[in-house]
Amino acid sequence: MKYKFSTVEKSIIGGVIAMLILFSGITLSVFVTAKASSTNFVKEEMLDITARLQESAITNFIKDFEKIFNYSYEKIMAEDVENFTNLDRYTKEWSKLKSIERNIHMIFFANEEGEIFTIPEWKAPESFDPRIRPWYLPAKLNPDKLNIEYYNSKSCGKNLYSMSRAVTDKNGQFIGVFSVDIALDSLKSQIQDLTKNSILKVYILEDNRVIATDEQTNVMISELKESRTISKITSSIEAVTHLPEQGGFWVKRTLAYPENWQIIVNISDAKIRNRTQCILQITYVILLIQLVAGLFFIRFVLTTLRRQVVAIHDTLAASLARAKGKSTYNTLSKGEEVYHGIYSRISEHNRVLQETQEKVDIDDLTQSYSRHAYHRDMRQLLEEHQSFFHIILDFDGFKAINDTLGHSTGDELLKYFSSFILINIRKDDKLYRYGGDEFVMVCDGKDMESVEKRIFQLTRRFNKQLKKDLSIDVTVSYGIAFCNGTEELAELINACDEELYQRKRQKKNS
């Protein structure tokens, strides 16, 4: 018989469909808005990252460097630099400073004779002349000014940031140059921390040269292919500039200090498209979830309504039958008979499934968990990498009980043991019958010593109680292994068996 929807059911279905259409429209409008504002969001993110880089990364980096430099510079005596005397004092102080500030690459001063003193100690090649180095000449030409230079060191393969200043005597006569080199690794780390989980690329420039970047690379900045490209397009970039041929959107911020430093932030058009596609995929998923949820809601409402109608119908039919003295069954329509028959068969099927699962999980004889349940639970615990204690319990001389007193007595002994353990273990502990007279217990514990003490007391109490209640003189041995979540099941069983058989041998020899 073809089912016909009632007016109420049709109203419910229509209302749910209207809700789905409304939610779908809202979702699509959110997607369109998000797609349109994606570029604006990227621009705001780029401007924000440049501001935060200037405030928390670059400014702090330079200020900290200046403090280190000024602290060391103020302690330099002009006569020591001129004559290279009292060098032990500088060796101790500078070595201590370098050990505290690990970003310091080298501390040194050089005089007009071309002599150089460094920490850490460095033997310069014969062709090396400090007077032509990039940190020496600017300091000599501007003796009253702190000079900042960036250069790539070919000897150590690092990008270095150098501060230098002229050392003069009491009369203002130039004597030499004091300089500190700091590797830009810490600046790079700070940039990477600020841009973590971001799709932006960041470059720090000095005089249109890339001196630091957020990229995970050990290659010197001067050898990066992007360095040449960025140096060429720097003049074309303003606040936020779209240069499709040069890789998408660019932002530039020129710093007042240090002079000639700039922050360049880039995001490619491809990454913006990927973000938009991601938004589209999320929208599709939300629409699908709404559709499925709507269908399930319709099914739930109709099923509930139908059951209520049947219940009301049954009540009325029963009342009518009692009034007329007829059977309730005869008052039911053929359609309702079919409905009740299907529902009854489903209920019976579920009940049989539940009973079957319980029979599989519970051992018939001992009412402890079965071997099937043991393997299922062990597989779950090991897959989740959980830690626990694995204990194997085994009777000493159980075969002799079966041979002398009979298998029925052996069965009673197993049931008695299982009942005793289940009563005396904790709520979260589990007992499994592994096979024959062998049981496995799984429990938590602070450490091996406390668990072993608990199992020893438990088995000793059982041995005494068994002798008292059943007059059977038999003992139980055990083996314990701890699982930290990485072992295989076979390893746990072998470890327990080894300890178990060792205890059995000790009992035989005692």
Tokens standing for residue 336? 């309702």
Q: Is the pLDDT of residue 390 over 90?
A: yes
Tokens standing for residue 356? 């079957």
Strands, E, within 353-402: which ranges?
388-395
Are the C-beta atoms of 442 and 390 separated by less than 8 Å? yes
Q: What is the pLDDT of residue 321?
A: 62
Q: Is the pLDDT of residue 114 over 70?
A: yes
Distance CA 36, CA 78 (A): 65
Distance CA 421, CA 498 (A): 23
Q: List CB contacts of 479: < 8 A, sequence separation 6 or more.
A: 391, 392, 495, 496, 497, 498, 499, 500, 501, 502, 503
Q: Render pLDDT for 122-146 as a digit per residue (tens, 0 to 9).
A: 888 888 888 888 788 888 998 888 8
Q: What is the pLDDT of residue 200?
A: 75
Q: Which phi and psi (to 5°) does residue 136 adopt?
A: -90, -50
Highest mean pLDDT among 213-222, 270-279, 288-297: 288-297
DSSP 336-371: HHHHHHHHHHHHHHHHHHHHHHHHHHB-TTT-SB-H
Distance CA 182, CA 108 (A): 12
What pLDDT band is residue 494 in, cutting at 50, 70 and 90?
A: very high
Are the C-beta atoms of 170 and 234 separated by less than 8 Å? no
Q: What is the pLDDT of residue 334?
A: 44
Instruction: For residue 251, give the amino acid letter.
Output: V
DSSP 88-107: HHHHHHHHHHHHH-TTEEEE
Q: Average pLDDT, whole number, for the chain?
A: 77
How many beta carbons lie within 10 A of that of residue 68, not counting itself?
Answer: 20
Mean pLDDT, range 70-97, rounded to an integer: 84
Are the C-beta atoms of 92 and 159 separated by less than 8 Å? no
Q: Look at 53 and 16; give whichever has higher pLDDT.
A: 53
What pLDDT band is residue 232 in, cutting at 50, 70 and 90?
A: low
What pLDDT band is residue 461 in, cutting at 50, 70 and 90?
A: very high
Distance CA 202, CA 53 (A): 9
On the 0-12 / 13-18 / 19+ scale of CB atoms within 10 A, 87 is exposed
Question: 98: number of CA atoms within 13 Å, CB side?
Answer: 19
Q: List CB contacts of 487: < 8 A, sequence separation 6 or more.
A: 382
Distance CA 90, CA 108 (A): 10
- CATH H superfamily, domain 371-509: Reverse transcriptase/Diguanylate cyclase domain (3.30.70.270)
Lowest-confidence segment of 316-330, 387-401, 464-478 by average pLDDT: 316-330
Distance CA 237, CA 64 (A): 30
Torsion-angle region of 406 (φ positive above 0: left; ψ -120 to 50: alpha; else: beta)? left
Q: Is 203 helix (H, G, I), strand (E, B) or coil?
A: strand
Q: Give percent above pLDDT 70 in the chain.
A: 68
Question: Where exactly are the structural domains of the chain?
Answer: 75-186, 325-355, 371-509
Q: Give percent above pLDDT 90 in the chain.
A: 21
Percentages helix, strand, coil for the chain (3-state, rounded to 5) are 60, 20, 25
pTM score of the predicted model: 0.41
Q: Render pLDDT for 334-384 as a digit per residue (tens, 0 to 9).
A: 444 444 444 455 455 455 555 555 567 899 899 999 999 999 999 999 999
Q: Render pLDDT for 293-339 as a digit per residue (tens, 0 to 9).
A: 777 777 777 677 667 666 666 666 666 666 555 544 444 444 444 44
Q: Is 446 helix (H, G, I), strand (E, B) or coil?
A: coil
Distance CA 157, CA 163 (A): 19
What pLDDT band is residue 456 in, cutting at 50, 70 and 90?
A: very high
Mean pLDDT, range 60-82, rounded to an integer: 83
Q: Is the pLDDT of residue 223 over 50?
A: no
Q: What is the pLDDT of residue 39?
A: 59
Q: Is the pLDDT of residue 271 over 90?
A: no
Distance CA 90, CA 69 (A): 14
Q: Look at 118 and 82; give whichever has higher pLDDT.
A: 118
Give the long-range contacts of residues 117-126, CB within 8 A, separation 24 or more.
117/84, 117/87, 117/90, 119/90, 119/91, 119/94, 119/95, 120/95
Q: What is the pLDDT of residue 219?
A: 40
* CATH of region 75-186: 3.30.450.20
Q: Identify whether 258 is preceded by a cis peptide bond (ω within 30 of 0).
A: yes
Q: What is the pLDDT of residue 115?
A: 87
Q: What is the pLDDT of residue 30?
A: 63
Alpha-carbon Rg for the chain in angstroms = 41
Q: What is the pLDDT of residue 509?
A: 83
Q: Which phi and psi (to 5°) does residue 382 adopt?
A: -75, -35
Highest mean pLDDT among 91-95, 184-188, 257-261: 91-95
What pLDDT band is residue 282 in, cutting at 50, 70 and 90?
A: confident
